[in-house]
Structure 1
Amino acid sequence: MKLKMSPNNLVLAAMIVAVSMTFIDQTIIALAVPEIQKNLGLSASGVQWVINGYVLALASAFMVAGKLSDAFGHRKMVIFGSVAFAAASAACGFTPVGPNSEAWIITFRVIQGVGAAFLFSAALALVVATFPLDKRGFKLAIFFAITGAMTGLGPLLGGYLTEWTWRAVFWVNIPVAVVALILISISHPVDTVKRQRIDWRGAILVAAGMALSVFGFQRSSTWGWTDERTIACIVAGLALLVIFALVELRTTNPLANLRIFKVRAFFVENLVLFFASMVFVSLFFFASLYAQISLGNSTSEAGLYIMTFFIGFAPAAMRGGKILDKVGAKGVVVVGAAVSTVGFYLWSQQLTDLSYSSQFWYIIIAGAGMGLIIGPASTDAINRAQKESYGEVTGIAQTVRYYGSSVGLAVLGTILIDNTTAGSNYYADAKTSAGRLEFADALQKVFVAMAVIMAITFVISIIGLRAGRQTDIPGAQPVPTS
């Protein structure tokens, strides 16, 4: 039988491959962190920034990336982002051993994040513009399900690659980028360009505000929550974000059209995504540590432990997209938030049993709940935009999502550090000083906090979202391919 793919579906395939490596990179180093620290001699703070620097850079650059994507063409920005991401990945893999190791790897992790922001914002805008609204929900559900599943593939790949060398967790992105560029060349989606001035003042304000607030959250484990330095960083960071919002509302050519937050569904769905993302990305880092330290798994076995989550996540995300197309976002998101709340709480209560089998079904339940949230909420939020501002709105929605991820990593990491005797060196010392059970007990508090965050998500969705299917947007037609 001869297989034939339509031009639009070929665009979708190209974007999935391109974006997949950015999702893999959110989690692939989780399994490699102990080896990276041991080999490079990183400080505890440095290790945290190797992880969070990437996510924070994604959040900080996403809005300006979306705007530049609209201004210069989505296809061009996908290519630029892919090349930048692959080059930074190679540089991370070649980090030299010595006094400059920490600065080197953190710098190129940040560059990876910036490249990922350009790649993802432009790719998602291309997918949105390629399909009409009646098909877009299902196509984006496929996009989010497959790329989201790559987040789970990250620990699996990371586990096996780290057994060879930790450097391979970065080098693996290079062949993926090559395949993505070939598919982009074959599918050749047509660029739509909207020439406009770029609000660099806004870009600086949003990046500084996010970085300063996340820095305050992350340093709270060292300084303490009531320390004036912690409070000053968090307050100053949030103040810069408020100033950013005020400036954008008064600027002729704003970085982001924040007035779209007046659309109730867009505002509520972004709140949902913020809180859900606090848990989603953080989960893989903490679960990887639990599997290696408390369960005593090898890195490859720990990767398989993480994959259990996606047994529930992937099919739920696919099903959620179909439900969204038929009846709207509220029902599927509310159910997803409720299911994930229950799943994370029940999962947390089994951690101290130190038994994978006792956790198995609860991990799947938590994954299914999250799958019903991430894809449908992201899709419906983006569908609120007019065609000419898809790149910009994609930037807004994903900025909120990745800022939530960065805050989640910082806050939940602080909870773990505060509850382990090994402090921020838990992954290196827990087997001998804190003990498997003590570490599991500390992680239990982290997972309970995740359940609380998902409960907040449930309350927001059930109160804030309205029932019903979204109607089509006038003029939202597929972008042709050539």
Structure 2
Amino acid sequence: MTVAASTRGRSKGLVLTAMIFAVAMTFIDQTIVSIAAPTVQHDLGLSSSGIQWAINAYLLSLAALFAFGGRLADTVGHRTMVVVGVIIFAAASALCGATPHGSGAEAWLVAFRAVQGLGGAIMFPAAIAIVVATFDLRSRGRALALFFGLAGGLTAIGPIAGGYLIQWTWRAIFWINIPVALIALALIAISKPVTEHRPAPIDYRGLALIVGGVGLSVFGFQQSALWGWGNPAIEICIIIGVLLLAVFCAVELRTESPLINVHIFGNRAFAVENIILLIAMMAFIPVFFFASVYGQIALAEKATTASLLILYFFLGFVVCAQIGGRMLDRIGAKRPVVLGCALAAVGFFLWGQHSTTLSAGAQTIWIIIAGAGMGLMLGQANTDAINRASRYSYGEATGITQTVRNYGASLGFAILGTILISDFRSKITGSLISRGVPGPAAAAQAAKIAQLQGGSGNISAIPGFIRADFAAATRDVLYGMAIIMAVAAAVALRGLRRGVQQDIAQPADVAEQVPQVPGRERGIRTGDL
């Protein structure tokens, strides 16, 4: 190997490392806040719906702005937008950690969590584009496998790291992003990744439609626990949100330079895989929050111990992700996706059945099985979707799948969070009435407890009947996840075709421009969480 070739190799490795550090924050923050939720909620005096908004605002912002971030990066420059995204993300993290006490705490935290999502939406697609541009076709698959594998694996580390960080202060779960951001900026400055950009009009009309559609549809579900389904504002928000998304699709079909190329959904397999991802993500990201809160409230465990529930989930996930990846290469996506969805449905259902025993040991095997099912299907559905759209750019296909995934996670979080609060309130009301509390007083007290307001912060002091009621409400959430995954299995069984995908032939000049993820280079499957 010549000195020049060796230097180029080191330079490419440095660019890849810089991009991994840049996106690491976005993966960590999908889950790290979940484990600290009870602590943050008590310290700041947030309502239960408020802490859920603090988590969901991040996912919602990613879903609504990811496509915009990709187009902005193509227009302004990928390296520029990675740097801008990292700075925005780090600054928002610092401000989340500096959330003041008082009546404005909830609005402050939710707002800057949304700004974190903005930073991630700007940074992530630009980072992928830099990795794709840095590596040639022969080495790109391995580079992307490492990129998604290391960065995506941090999703699992988030809750575990959070459990230890909050022993010092819950604010550290946000401040940990600052040194990561500084390292990323330093590596970018040293490696100087070379990128090109092409000035083009930005589809602001499409941006307004997708932000409004995603925001209103999720807002309606999220607020239903507080406002009640009898409030017409709930139905109005959801209906208008869905209509805006439908209008967005219609407008994008006729837009010369669209925010999202919806023509790609003409590829039936790509469309089916994205439907599966939308459904599955309604359970995948929310489970971290619900498992963390369940462990601390129902089981009365410390955050570090409660994080073991998530560790069990990822144990099953990681092992079966490897198995699913080999199945994808050998027999195609249908079998691992169908089996994975079905296995996850069974795991969530049996986990729910055993959640009311208030024994972590009785649930461990079912948690592992639920994680195993998700591992078997999730990466394979994602990889197959991108490979099915191989006549389009890798970045464009990835941008669409990430938008769909984050929207699914936001929607699932809102719906399942509503189920949790409503069921918890109903069960507490019944428990209080059975203890002689008059109906109206029981309902009022249950509403306050269901929002977990005014607690002492000492989780171990929570009365046993309230712990049992919370476990029962969590059981219903897990049953909901089982239904979600059963629906995903049905869609996969009916919509996917058997067999290994064949590469789509392309002209030589197009093949050099359109990055592929062929054959054995589908390594992104196991780490693309």
Q: TM-score with structure 1 length normalisation?
A: 0.91
Which of the numbers 436, 439, 442 marks the counterpart of 2:467?
436
Are the counterparts in 2 of residues 248 and 258 from structure 1 also a CA contact under 8 Å?
A: yes
Q: 1:125, CA displacement in angstroms?
A: 3.6
Distance in 2, Cα, partners of 1:328 & 1:187: 38
**Residue in 2 that maps onto 1:346:** 350
Which consecutive residues of structure 2, in runs of 5 or more, have no partner in the other structure?
1-5, 429-445, 516-529
Which of the numbers 257, 264, 280 marks the counterpart of 1:276?
280
Which of the numbers 295, 302, 306 marks the counterpart of 2:306?
302
Distance in 1, Cα, partners of 2:264 & 2:514: 23
Q: 1:472, CA displacement in angstroms?
A: 5.0
1:314-325 aligned within 5 A:
314-325=318-329
Distance in 2, Cα, partners of 1:195 & 1:445: 50
Distance in 2, Cα, partners of 1:473 & 1:445: 48
Which of the numbers 429, 447, 451 marks the counterpart of 1:425?
451
**Residue in 1 that maps onto 2:440:** none
Query: Could you say if the C-alpha distance between residues 427 and 405 of structure 1 is closer, same or farther in structure 2, counting changes exceeding 3 Å?
Result: farther
Are the counterparts in 2 of residues 141 and 318 from structure 1 also a CA contact under 8 Å?
A: no
Query: Could you say if the C-alpha distance between residues 345 and 413 of structure 1 is closer, same or farther in structure 2, counting changes exceeding 3 Å?
Result: same
**Residue in 2 that maps onto 1:119:** 123
Distance in 2, Cα, partners of 1:159 & 1:447: 22
Pairing 1:448–2:452 present: no
**Residue in 2 that maps onto 1:469:** 501
Q: Which moved more, 1:150-159 or 1:415-424?
A: 415-424
Pairing 1:372–2:376 present: yes
Which of the numbers 190, 198, 201 marks the counterpart of 2:194?
190
**Residue in 1 that maps onto 2:3:** none
Distance in 1, Cα, partners of 2:144 & 2:407: 22
Pairing 1:104–2:108 present: yes
Pairing 1:73–2:87 present: no
Q: 1:363, CA displacement in angstroms?
A: 1.4
Letter in 2 for 1:408: G
Q: 1:385, CA displacement in angstroms?
A: 4.2
Distance in 2, Cα, partners of 1:36 & 1:12: 34
**Residue in 2 that maps onto 1:54:** 58
Which of the numbers 404, 410, 435 marks the counterpart of 2:408?
404
Distance in 1, Cα, partners of 2:420 & 2:453: 11
Which of the numbers 171, 176, 185 marks the counterpart of 1:172?
176
Q: 1:249, CA displacement in angstroms?
A: 0.9
Letter in 2 for 1:463: R
Distance in 2, Cα, partners of 1:75 & 1:465: 38
Distance in 1, Cα, partners of 2:330 & 2:87: 38
Q: 1:454, CA displacement in angstroms?
A: 0.5
Distance in 2, Cα, partners of 1:318 & 1:73: 35
Distance in 2, Cα, partners of 1:390 & 1:233: 34
**Residue in 1 that maps onto 2:436:** none
Query: Could you say if the C-alpha distance between residues 463 and 9 of structure 1 is closer, same or farther in structure 2, counting changes exceeding 3 Å?
Result: farther
Q: Deviations over 1:385-440 (max 9, x none)?
A: 45774333322211111111001011001111111134542487682385222211
Letter in 2 for 1:100: G
Distance in 2, Cα, partners of 1:361 & 1:164: 32
Are the counterparts in 1 of residues 345 and 485 from structure 2 also a CA contact under 8 Å?
A: yes
**Residue in 2 that maps onto 1:230:** 234
Letter in 2 for 1:219: Q
Query: Could you say if the C-alpha distance between residues 8 and 326 of structure 1 is closer, same or farther in structure 2, counting changes exceeding 3 Å?
Result: farther
Q: 1:55, CA displacement in angstroms?
A: 0.8
Q: 1:145, CA displacement in angstroms?
A: 4.0
Question: Residue 191 of structure 1: SS of its match in structure 2?
Answer: coil
Q: 1:328, CA displacement in angstroms?
A: 3.1
Letter in 1 for 2:266: K
Q: Which moved more, 1:179-188 or 1:242-251?
A: 179-188
Letter in 1 for 2:482: A
Percent of aligned positions with the same letter in both sequences? 52
Q: Deviations over 1:21-43 (max 9, x none)?
A: 11111121122222223322334
Q: Which moved more, 1:28-37 or 1:241-250?
A: 28-37
Which consecutive residues of structure 1, in runs of 5 or more, have no partner in the other structure?
none
Which of the numbers 14, 21, 35 marks the counterpart of 1:17?
21
Which of the numbers 251, 256, 275 marks the counterpart of 1:252?
256
Distance in 1, Cα, partners of 2:184 & 2:253: 37
Distance in 2, Cα, partners of 1:273 & 1:134: 28
Query: Could you say if the C-alpha distance between residues 361 and 143 of structure 1 is closer, same or farther in structure 2, counting changes exceeding 3 Å?
Result: farther
Distance in 2, Cα, partners of 1:132 & 1:260: 24
Q: 1:479, CA displacement in angstroms?
A: 9.7
Q: 1:81, CA displacement in angstroms?
A: 1.3
Query: Could you say if the C-alpha distance between residues 143 and 263 of structure 1 is closer, same or farther in structure 2, counting changes exceeding 3 Å?
Result: same
Are the counterparts in 2 of residues 129 and 476 from structure 1 also a CA contact under 8 Å?
A: no
Q: Which moved more, 1:218-227 or 1:423-432?
A: 423-432
Q: 1:92, CA displacement in angstroms?
A: 0.9
Letter in 1 for 2:503: T
Question: Residue 201 of structure 1: SS of its match in structure 2?
Answer: helix
Letter in 2 for 1:202: G
Distance in 1, Cα, partners of 2:239 & 2:224: 13
Which is greater in Rg? 2
Task: Give the CA RMSD over aligned residues.
Answer: 2.7
Distance in 1, Cα, partners of 2:136 & 2:335: 23
Are the counterparts in 1 of residues 390 and 504 from structure 2 also a CA contact under 8 Å?
A: no
Are the counterparts in 2 of residues 386 and 473 from structure 1 also a CA contact under 8 Å?
A: no
Distance in 1, Cα, partners of 2:198 & 2:330: 32
Q: TM-score with structure 2 length normalisation?
A: 0.83
